[in-house]
């Protein structure tokens, strides 16, 4: 932990951290010009307009947004206010404010890393607006009003004051989550499931507890943290609006994980360091991994819910489950907290599943960031197969780990499978392609007793940190493909995802698949990108020595790569796909592509024409 820790009696004019808005005044736009609510595909309502109809259609069932909303909840007999996140939350990893060479670039140079971090960006990099390298005054509370800008409450991206809609997700300025009250009203009516329940196997169990909303950043900073309580509110509101909760699923009674259970994944020092945050107003493990007085409880609740869901699924009391939890966990390693993560929920769930009788556990991590903590915990364990699909870009994308050659150690060699994308903008086609040729063949050969998905939705379209292009349909298809791996025994655990519309619509589609609905299929092109083919081929060339079942896939993908190369060669003009399509007109100027086409290609064409004309004239002469 860093030394930036405040005791509870040093409040600096703030409350104790129970309210995630109490330390801040409302934005001046919160109550001005509130548009009326509109129906979004019959699933959720929002306040304000959203001009991108395609984005709305592909993210239907997303969070309900309104410009003024607050909830209340009772914790230990004390009634407190849980208002929408505004300025006290802040942001991590690599940002997507400036696009260069089709990759997400941080605004400023990376700050010096703390001892517990691996190389990669931090929140300061994402939202620093100063041009001078070492000037971080804009990050200080005293400079929070230095620039006229507002932060989108849907995706946390900063916008200049003149814009009425977010330039990243097109959300209306001042929008906030609504609809959570409808979910909360159903909590008292929900049926609870436990190992003592006399019912036969039920369909889908959901894990949630309102106390996890109390985990928020207390220190005043100029920009909202992307890992904020509204993430859970948005998903909960979407599930309620879709009619999924509580009529189609049951709840798991929440409980805090015990220290003895945590010791199977973490060191005693790590567990104690998280527990000590109960006595602090706020504290930081890394520059972007915060804690307040409620964070230790939230982290133990998240881990306890995941452990119990895994046990219930293995024992047959539930067919599958969805853990709607925070803080996330897959970056938390054996002895360190980082990347917004305190305890490793997926690792704790896997170990609980083994205690319940599972001999082999498959963890599929589709969060856009590599789950370095999960890989570390099971690096030498051949009873847990860890497969991760993530942006890597030769280690330049947070957290820098997860290269294809990281395959595990000792007995665990071959049981870490990393599929590292070489760029941003990766979408459904590449993910499905990787599933078909790498994930599913290995999973079928491994034959797990339970499959756990570290379901980060930050590879979703519109996410400010992931900058990729996976749609809710893509997530539903991947979920459906994994249901066959362990006879339907599937546990989905929420990890990252910082666009409220994207995570709520994607999570809703995933839960629908858990409930037995068919996945969504798009009728468009299904070919993977050239970069996707190259990444999968690299993984197959390494992993086939551990998994001979991949040899046919390697031959097939190699043949596909050659045909794609031949196609581009025959066309004579190899074109790199831009994420999300050809891109707007201004994108061509930004990449100098239009300038190249106009000046260079035009000059070459004129030269060729002149040469042909001269040759024709020469041949015509006697």
Tell me the catalytic residues. 331
How far is it, in rounded angstroms, from Cα 293 to Cα 280? 6
Whether the ω angle into residue 394 lies within 30 degrees of 0, i.e. cis, is no
How far is it, in rounded angstroms, from Cα 479 to Cα 586? 36
CB neighbour class for 537 (10 Å; exposed up to 12, middle 13-18, buried from 19): middle
Question: What DSSP assignment string belongs to 32-92?
Answer: SSPPPEEEETTTEEEES----HHHHHHTTT--EEESS-EEEEEETTEEEEEEPP-SS----
Give the dihedral of Cα atoms 418, 420, 425, 431; nearest 10 deg. Answer: -30
Structure tokens at 415: 């049981």
How far is it, in rounded angstroms, from Cα 108 to Cα 122? 10
Q: What values do phi and psi take at 251, rounded to 5?
A: -100, 150
Structure tokens at 184: 């909360």
Q: What values do phi and psi take at 516, rounded to 5?
A: 110, 0
How far is it, in rounded angstroms, from Cα 288 to Cα 267? 22
Residues 507 and 62: beta-carbon distance below 8 Å: no
How far is it, in rounded angstroms, from Cα 219 to Cα 281? 9
Which residues make Cβ contacts (< 8 Å) with residue 347, sequence separation at least 6?
265, 329, 373, 374, 377, 378
> Tokens 């539930």 map to which residue?
318
Q: In which element (H, E) is residue 453 found?
A: strand 450-455
CB neighbour class for 73 (10 Å; exposed up to 12, middle 13-18, buried from 19): middle
How far is it, in rounded angstroms, from Cα 288 to Cα 91? 7
CB neighbour class for 264 (10 Å; exposed up to 12, middle 13-18, buried from 19): middle
């Amino acid at each position: 932990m860093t030394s930036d820790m405040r005791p509870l009696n040093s409040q600096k004019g703030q409350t104790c951290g129970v309210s995630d808005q109490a330390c801040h005044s409302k934005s001046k736009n919160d109550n001005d010009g509130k548009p009326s609510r509109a129906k979004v595909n019959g699933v959720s309502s929002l306040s304000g307009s959203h001009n991108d109809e395609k984005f709305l259609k592909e993210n239907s069932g997303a969070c309900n947004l309104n410009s003024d909303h607050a909830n209340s909840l009772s914790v230990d007999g004390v009634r407190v206010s849980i208002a929408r996140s505004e300025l006290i939350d802040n942001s991590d990893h690599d940002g997507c404010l400036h696009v260069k060479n089709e990759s997400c670039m941080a605004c400023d140079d990376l700050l010096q890393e703390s001892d517990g971090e691996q190389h990669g960006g931090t929140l300061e990099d994402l939202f620093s607006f100063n041009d001078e390298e070492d000037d971080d005054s804009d990050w200080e509370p005293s400079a929070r009003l230095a620039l006229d800008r507002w932060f989108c409450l849907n995706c946390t991206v900063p916008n200049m004051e003149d814009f009425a809609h977010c330039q990243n997700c097109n959300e209306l300025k001042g929008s906030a989550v609504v609809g959570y009250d409808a979910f909360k009203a159903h909590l008292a009516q929900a049926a609870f499931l436990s190992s003592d329940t006399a019912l036969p196997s039920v369909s889908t169990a959901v894990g949630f507890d309102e106390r996890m909303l109390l985990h928020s950043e207390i220190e005043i900073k100029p920009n909202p943290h992307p890992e904020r309580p509204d993430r859970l509110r948005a998903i909960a509101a979407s599930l309620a609006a879709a009619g999924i909760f509580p009529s189609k699923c049951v709840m798991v009674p929440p409980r805090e994980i015990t220290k003895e259970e945590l010791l199977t994944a973490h060191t005693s020092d790590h567990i104690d360091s998280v527990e000590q945050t109960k006595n602090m107003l706020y504290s930081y493990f890394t520059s972007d991994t915060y804690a307040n007085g409620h964070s230790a409880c939230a982290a133990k609740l998240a881990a306890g819910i995941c452990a119990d869901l895994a046990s219930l699924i293995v024992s047959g009391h539930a067919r599958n489950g969805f853990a709607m939890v925070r803080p996330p966990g897959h970056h938390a390693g054996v002895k360190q907290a980082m990347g917004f993560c305190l305890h490793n929920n997926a690792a704790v769930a896997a170990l609980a599943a083994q205690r319940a009788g599972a001999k082999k556990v498959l963890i599929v991590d589709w969060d856009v960031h590599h789950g370095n903590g999960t890989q570390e915990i099971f690096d030498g364990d051949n009873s847990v197969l860890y497969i991760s699909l993530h942006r890597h870009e030769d280690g330049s994308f947070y957290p820098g780990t997860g290269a294809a050659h990281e395959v595990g150690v000792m007995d665990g060699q071959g049981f870490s499978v990393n599929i590292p994308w070489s760029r941003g903008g990766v979408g459904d086609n590449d993910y499905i392609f990787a599933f078909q040729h790498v994930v599913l063949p290995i999973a079928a050969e491994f034959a797990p007793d339970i499959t756990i998905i570290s379901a980060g939705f930050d590879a979703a379209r519109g996410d400010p940190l992931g900058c990729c292009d996976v749609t809710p349909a893509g997530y539903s298809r991947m979920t459906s493909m994994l249901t066959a791996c362990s006879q339907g025994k599937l546990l989905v655990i929420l990890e990252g995802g910082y666009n409220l519309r994207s995570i709520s619509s994607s999570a809703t589609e995933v839960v629908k698949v858990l409930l037995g609905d068919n996945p969504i299929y798009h009728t468009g092109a299904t070919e993977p990108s050239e970069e996707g083919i190259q990444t999968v081929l690299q993984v197959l060339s390494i992993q086939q020595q551990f998994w001979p079942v991949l040899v046919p896939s390697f031959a097939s993908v190699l043949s596909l790569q050659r045909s794609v190369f031949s196609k581009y060669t025959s066309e004579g003009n190899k074109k790199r796909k831009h994420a999300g399509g050809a891109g707007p007109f201004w994108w061509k100027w930004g990449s100098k592509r239009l300038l190249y086409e106009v000046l260079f290609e035009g000059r070459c064409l004129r030269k060729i024409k002149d040469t042909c004309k001269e040759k024709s004239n020469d041949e015509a002469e006697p």
